[in-house]
Amino acid sequence: MILTSKFVDRKAELNFLRERYRSGRAELIILYGRRRIGKTYLLRKFLEDVDGIYLLAEENETNLEDFSLRLADYFNDPFLRENPIRSWGAFFTYLAGNSEKRLVVVIDEVQYLAKADKGFLSTLQKYWDLYLSNTRVMLILCGSLVSFMEGILSAKSPIYGRRTGAWRVNEIGFFDLLEFHPIDLETAVNVYAVFGGVPQYWADYNPEKDFWDNVRALVLSKGAKYYDEPKYLLKEELRDVSRYFSILRAIALGYTRFGQIADKARIETKSLGKYLNVLEEMGYIRGERPIVGKGRTVYRINDNLFNFWFRFVFPRRDGIEMGFDVVKEIKGEFKDYLGFVFEDIARQFLVSLNKAGKLPFRFTRIGRWWHKNEEIDLVALNEREKEALFVEVKWKDLSEREARGILKDLERKGELVGLDGWEKRYGLVAKKVMGKVELGEDGWLVWGLGDFKRIKGFS
């Protein structure tokens, strides 16, 4: 099997699968994640190394017949080619009978099988207990409906207790995404702000075209590949998306507290919690509390394309439908939007430095802090050693004077956090900072985009 696209990152996922393969025992692995996240590409890369059968389920009634033909080709079985398997029990029995040696079987989009046959998982449980658990089969069930796959992992699932491993495939981090295209860091931040860490979106980005031409072609025009992407993804998992749309729209516009979301989305507070929980379980939003002290939860959109779409695309759909070019009006707001995205990138940057031992101490927790009208973008803590690093993040070029002003104000805010007796350090991450050497000599930690270029060497 030859892969034609670039394979980026996924070292941890591949190592997980390879370790399970090397166990030699029967393995029932659950692999899942949202669409376009790279699950299928990951599995095909794994199968390049170990050989095995890849079976893709579809929304039709012929999956068993199609799978039979794939098995017949793989095992060179002319009888099976003429006599396709008629039941899932027979399918699993056939696998058991052909797994004296290590046998890898991947079933992708497994949710379609369970949808077509309500007894599919119960049949798998029965035949796993009877036969498969005593073989050398490695069965990987892969799915893109997060809600369904989370259900497979729950205690109510027929195969609960049978799985030997599970992995949720998440987005790729910013610094690994840089391997996709030879683009400068500032452009990469812009691309990440729109497309996040979803590999397929980056694969579709054309580095030979201008950034805004790419966004226009992929998102901001009627008929574009990702013009309706959030709507498509939500409708795939949810029955009634209107309330979820209202919630995501409110959060994207900056209404991040529970009461604010309820008011803006016009949803009763007693009902809002369940909708927020669903979106959080699906990975589209996250709730945050201050890393130190008490404070109300605020909600943020996890997926950058969702965030961009609900903030910039959704309210302009009428104009886009009529063929208007909305890029000019979006550009005016995009810089402010980038500030929040750059905070996320700065957090990833500090985590990478932390892993590499490139900070004054190793932190064990990192997050945001706020109280009343005061806020610190990033706070990194080592609670055992009582050491703290406070960091401000600015998506702009700063003079040395501006940087000193920000850092001195950060020192003031650091005293408000209440970590009395802790050793405290103060840092700044910006697009560019003048006078970095002088600021460093005064005890402050300062980084710009130029420092990002060396991060891959730290990992």
315/395 Cα distance (integer angstroms): 25
> Are 16 and 108 found together in one domain?
yes
Q: Which of 274, 293, 315 is the last residue of a domain?
A: 315
> Are 300 and 449 found together in one domain?
no
pLDDT in tens, 10-43: 999 999 999 999 999 999 999 999 899 999 999 9
Question: Taking a C-beta distance cutoff of 8 angstroms, is the pair 397, 379 a contact?
Answer: no
Average pLDDT of the residues in 397-423: 97
> Are 260 and 310 found together in one domain?
yes
Alpha-carbon 98 to chain mean position? 36
pLDDT in tens, 137-157: 999 999 988 888 888 999 999
Which domain range does residue 29 map to?
A: 11-168
Asked if residue 386 is part of any domain, the answer here is yes
Average pLDDT of the residues in 124-137: 97
Asked if residue 271 is part of any domain, the answer here is yes
173/352 Cα distance (integer angstroms): 10
Asked if residue 444 is part of any domain, the answer here is yes
> Are 427 and 355 found together in one domain?
yes
Domain CATH for 100 = 3.40.50.300
Asked if residue 257 is part of any domain, the answer here is yes
Asked if residue 30 is part of any domain, the answer here is yes
Question: Taking a C-beta distance cutoff of 8 angstroms, is the pair 10, 42 a contact?
Answer: yes
Asked if residue 337 is part of any domain, the answer here is no
Q: Which of 315, 336, 354 is the last residue of a domain?
A: 315
18/297 Cα distance (integer angstroms): 39
> Are 16 and 133 found together in one domain?
yes
Average pLDDT of the residues in 78-88: 95
Distances (CA, A) of 429 to 153, 339, 401, 414, 454: 40, 11, 15, 16, 15
> Are 289 and 374 found together in one domain?
no
Number of domains in the chain: 3
Q: Is the pLDDT of residue 439 over 70?
A: yes
Higher model confidence: residue 299 or residue 5?
Answer: 299
Q: Mean pLDDT over all residues of the chain? A: 94
User: How would DSSP label each residue in 330-359?
Assistant: HHHHHHHHHHHHHHHHHHHHHHHHHHTT-S
Asked if residue 39 is part of any domain, the answer here is yes
249/156 Cα distance (integer angstroms): 33
pTM of the model: 0.92
Asked if residue 220 is part of any domain, the answer here is no
Share of the chain above pLDDT 70, in %: 98
Average pLDDT of the residues in 105-109: 97
> Are 264 and 353 found together in one domain?
no
